[in-house]
Amino acid sequence: LDRSLQTVDTLLKTGNVTVDAILSAKLAQARAAGIAVTAEANLPPELSLTDLELSIVIGNLLDNAIKFTPAGGEITIRASMDKDWLTVSFTDTGIGMSAEFAQNVFEPFERERTSTVSKIRGTGLGMAITKNIVDMMGGNIKVKSELGKGSEITIGLRFKTTSATKNRGVIQELNGFRA
């Protein structure tokens, strides 16, 4: 196995869970599958994307885009920040979803019939977990899809940049403690 194809499990075990680490691993996986990936980001340089939860969300969404996009297909990631609102969309030219399935995609164990017939691996839990995490972070997630044409999944999250939190100061009684 190519060492550049790290899995999310490996990253979790090593404690090296950052959005950059997840993106690097997933982009290598996409390239190995013959899928072109384009990223368009308009993010402030002080934005710190190190949250484990956000890493899991991005990992799950990219994993699905890779899994359901055939070789020769494309995935586009767009990220932007408006004040403290982070928007990230994942668009693919994969197999897409039926309108009926798209309404239930966030339900645990739901799988599109075409994915089970075509033997694409999965449990039907990734999107349920992703939505749960996005909800816990106070965000939203939207799905647009057309069967046979691809999907676009967009997440929106309230996210403060590090410069906004830099000047919080130190609580002397807690200085030196780790949680």
State residue 30's pLDDT score.
Answer: 93
State residue 50's pLDDT score.
Answer: 57
Predicted confidence (pLDDT) per residue in 62-71, tens digit: 999 999 999 9
| Chain centroid, CA 122 distance in Å | 16
CA distance 128 to 53: 14
Predicted confidence (pLDDT) per residue in 120-143, tens digit: 777 788 899 999 999 998 999 999
Contact 144, 152 (CB under 8 A): yes
Contact 111, 98 (CB under 8 A): no
CA distance 20 to 109: 29
